[in-house]
Amino acid sequence: MTEMQAPAPLPCPTAKDDKPRSHCRTVDNPGTSVSTPPPSLPPWARLPINRCNLPAVILGSLTFQRHPAALFIDGVAELHADLFRRLDALPAHRERAQAFRDYMTVHFRLEHLEEAGLTEGAEKRAKANWLRLLRGWSFDADGREGAVLKGWVESRFGLLPRFHAEPLRDFTGPAWRRYQEMRAAGLYGTNALEGQLDLLYAYCQYEFARAGTRDSLPLYRGINRIAEHEVLSDEGRRQVVLFNNLTSFTRSRERAGEFGDYILEARVPPAKVFFHCGLLPGLLKGEDEYLVIGGAYEVGIGTL
């Protein structure tokens, strides 16, 4: 069962497509010019509450990109303290990856779902788990698995999705309802699926800390038109872009060039990486993919 969500803020009233509109480039300080990079996340892209140690207005801001801090989802470290003690004792990354997989299987009863309350006739969605979500995202980020992942980011970090198969601008419109329906269908009949994602994010952050990764990561995204994105500030070849609440990047500039004529380069704090291709062997390898939690980012625009 998915948790109740806080009411969504009012949409930017005339933004019916992905093209930036000057009167929608909202900033929190009335005296700030819209031509200046906004100090915080626009209110129509965030929830007033979330489930981590920083509010969405901070973690989704340009300031966070420039001055990041660690993010912790409420209760995860305490609930899974045994796992992290076990990981501390394992020197090799491959050993820790296997220990994490084993823990997920046992803790969430992924191979014995009847012990978690699976009833006869509910088998259709029983096998939906964190692995299937990642694989589903790699095939279609706008499918049911993508809706669950974007909904998880919405719930845990308070960042509203801005796109799911089509722009999400009207929170009473058919596009938003379709997203919510897909999210609900993806969670129905599953076993603590969002809890599995909580632990996956925590493990990703654990490995960054274990490796001493503190500096922001240069990541790339191929695009055909900047108008496909919400531009909050335009300063030529440096722009502030509001990304979807979960967005695919790659660590390879050459690979990004296969997906568009232009390349966005962003410095992404490790705390904003939900999952990446090097975390667990065999997952998301094909495109050197990083799944990045969204918000406002300063990006450079270039070509190969």
User: Full-prediction pTM beyond 0.95?
Assistant: no
User: Is 75 exposed, middle or buried, given 0-12, 13-18 or 19+ CB atoms closer than 10 A?
Assistant: exposed
Query: Residue 249: helix, strand or coil by DSSP?
Result: strand
Contact 237, 300 (CB under 8 A): yes
Beta bridge partners of 46: 159
pLDDT, tens only, 188-201: 888 899 999 999 99
How many Å apart are CA 286 and CA 277, to the nearest integer?
A: 8
List the single range of 4-18, 37-51, 232-246 with lowest mean pLDDT.
4-18
Q: How far apart are the first and last CA of the chain?
A: 46
Query: Residue 114: helix, strand or coil by DSSP?
Result: helix
Pairing of strands 230-235, 238-250: antiparallel
pLDDT, tens only, 114-146: 655 555 555 555 678 999 999 999 999 999 999
